[in-house]
Amino acid sequence: LDFALGGQTESMSPEEAAAAVRTGRPAIVEARQEDAFLAAVRGGGPVRRAGEAEGFDYASGETVRLEIYAPGR
């Protein structure tokens, strides 16, 4: 994904991703961190799930599921 986006991505904690969505930026959250992300956004304004994607992590050799979140409407 990083290659497809031209290196314009940031790696951040679930709490930092929640803060990014609250400031109007989308966030891509790995499924294993989704619960922590949802806990961090709770009570901080509307957030919507905008999509999902599945991919392959070359570093770990595992399939990963990514959830895409955006500011709610």
Structure confidence by residue, pLDDT tens digits, 19-31: 999 999 899 999 9
Q: Which pLDDT band holds residue 6 (cuts at 50, 70, 90)?
A: low
Quick: pLDDT tens for 16-61: 999 999 999 899 999 999 999 999 999 888 899 999 999 888 889 9
Of 9, 14, 10, 23, give the one whose Cα is nearest residue 70.
23
Rounded (5°) CA angle 42-48-53: 115
- Residue 34 CA to residue 1 CA, distance in Å, equals 18
Rounded (5°) CA angle 50-61-34: 30
Question: Would the pLDDT of 7 be above 70?
Answer: no
Q: How many CB atoms lie within 10 A of CB 26?
A: 13
